[in-house]
DNA sequence: ACGGAGTTCAACCTTTTGATTGATGCCGGG
DNA sequence: CCCGGCATCAATCAAAAGGTTGAACTCCGT
């Protein structure tokens, strides 16, 4: 019997996961959490094998699913954490996996796939949605798609609508440096303007 | 007895709505649809009082929820359509309401609120989520926040990273006209650059 | 220790964008 | 019927952004 904790802020999604997974004879939902903080609390108690963790917990929440995942998996004897989220983007998946998630699934997956992923997680095997696995492999092959931390920071401010001058002031740089970063960003993303760079980075999930 | 049709591409969400609403004694879920096309078909048959309609049907779908809503409500004796979506934005809500939706709800609403909205819709009364209703009233008070159709079109291409020249070619305009539209957009949104305009419009839900 | 990548900056030039002013025609409400 | 908003375009100027070249520094791994 695999004991499950469902962590999601949407009541409808919690009910849906419960309904889908309760029909499996070897699953038992032992707890539900509507906030990330509550999920961390409940995961600390014994009697939980797998945590189904959402990443987005509404704008009013201080802790997100990735943080909660890190806190849960940091403890000895912790349950496995399976991230189940709506939309996939690199900006979400990589932090979640680095935080110690055993798997990553999309909510639009068919019920059988969910159940199989839970069993894999309970057995300690990793379970990744096909689209996520594809992009991880793609990432391995072409390292060109990765922006440096500084470049991501600059691009984030560009996405907020700041001019190069404002960005240079905000980061205590010269405009020349900001331009230099942008040129590198453009070549890496294969675009030639700031708005196109923002769009491309959004599409690839490099920024949110 | 209120007979319901659930239209959503996510199996988990369908199961969740079913679980939440089936517990109400006066509700009966008579059908489910995983695509917008199927929802239109099923809504045409008699025996459906209220359609719970999602707006996003995945990238592989030709018809979205707003189109489906329009087709359903266009027929005589059509059931009421209640839009139930994940995130709310003006770019989604207004087309949906214009298409004839009786109400607009968010999936993170508590179950009782969902049930009450369904009863309101069945009785012909409109049911709007508080945040949606707030913004509709806000819209009435300050008409400054509304972009014209052409302006929205231009801004959409700006958000796609196109230059003014490319936009003018795409829309068969002169660059002067594109600039003119942008100036109007900037004043309406209170910004002074294209990237800031895109960000602001995204935040207000004027574009997706 | 060497090379590569990242970060920082400079100078110069071209293109794009934004700001301003002004003009025309269309359409719908008071 | 006239006014205002919308859409269209022109011309001009200043500012911002983009492209190029070159260079110095740090850090990291081989």
Mean pLDDT of chain A: 85
Tokens at residue A72, please? 């849960």
The encoded tokens of residue B27 equal 């509700």
CB neighbour list of residue B188: distance below 8 Å, 6 or more residues apart: B144, B145, B146, B147, B151
Nearest to B163 among A11, A110, A193 (CB): A193
Which of B159, B163, B197 is facing A199, going by the closest CB pair? B159
Residue A93 predicted with pLDDT over 80: no
Which residues are CB-contacts of B13 (< 8 A; sequence separation ≥ 6)? A12, A13, A16, A107, B54, B107
Residue with tokens 């802020």: A9
Burial class (CB in 10 A: 0-12, 13-18, 19+), B61: middle
State the pTM of this model.
Answer: 0.73
pLDDT at B109: 81
Give the tens place of pLDDT for each residue, A12-68: 999 999 999 999 999 999 999 999 999 999 999 889 999 999 988 877 777 888 888
DSSP B35: S
Q: Which of B4, B12, B56, B110 to mutate to test the interface with A (most CBs of A within 10 A)?
A: B12
Q: Which two tokens stand for residue A15?
A: 């009910």
Which of A47-51, A128-132, A181-185 comes out lowest in average pLDDT?
Answer: A128-132
- B86 exposure class (CB count in 10 Å sphere: 0-12, 13-18, 19+): buried
Burial degree of A153 (CB within 10 A; 0-12, 13-18, 19+): middle
Q: How many CA atoms lie within 13 A of B20 on its CB side?
A: 27
Res B64: pLDDT: 81
C-alpha A55/C-alpha A128 separation (Å) is: 15
Q: How many A×B Cβ pairs under 8 Å?
A: 105
Distance between CA atoms of B174 and A189, rounded to whole angstroms? 29
CA angle A31, A32, A34 (to 5 degrees): 155
Q: How far is A30 from chain B (nearest CA, A)?
A: 17
B143 pLDDT exceeds 50?
A: no
Q: How confident is the model at residue B24 (pLDDT cuts 50, 70, 90)?
A: very high
How far does the CA of residue A99 sit from the closest CA of chain B (Å)? 25
| A67 touches B: beta carbon within 8 Å | no
CA distance A12 to A18: 10
């Amino acid at each position: 019997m695999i004991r499950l904790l469902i962590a999601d802020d949407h009541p409808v999604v919690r009910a849906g996961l419960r309904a889908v997974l309760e029909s499996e004879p070897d699953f038992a939902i032992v707890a539900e959490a509507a906030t990330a903080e509550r999920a961390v609390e409940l995961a600390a108690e014994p009697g939980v094998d797998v945590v189904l963790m959402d990443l987005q917990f509404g704008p009013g929440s201080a802790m997100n699913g990735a943080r909660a995942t890190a806190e849960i998996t940091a403890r000895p004897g912790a349950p496995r954490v399976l991230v189940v989220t709506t939309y996939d983007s690199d900006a979400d998946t990589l932090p979640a996996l680095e935080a110690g998630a055993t798997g990553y699934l999309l909510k639009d997956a068919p019920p059988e796939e969910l159940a199989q992923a839970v069993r894999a997680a309970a057995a300690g095997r990793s379970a990744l949605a096909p689209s996520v696995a594809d992009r991880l492999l793609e990432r391995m092959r072409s390292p060109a798609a990765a922006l440096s931390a500084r470049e991501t920071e600059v691009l984030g401010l560009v996405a907020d609508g700041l001019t190069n001058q404002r960005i240079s002031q905000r980061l205590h740089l010269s405009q020349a440096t900001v331009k230099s970063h942008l040129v590198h960003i453009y070549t890496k993303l294969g675009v030639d303007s700031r708005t196109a760079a923002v769009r491309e980075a959004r599409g690839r999930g490099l920024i949110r």
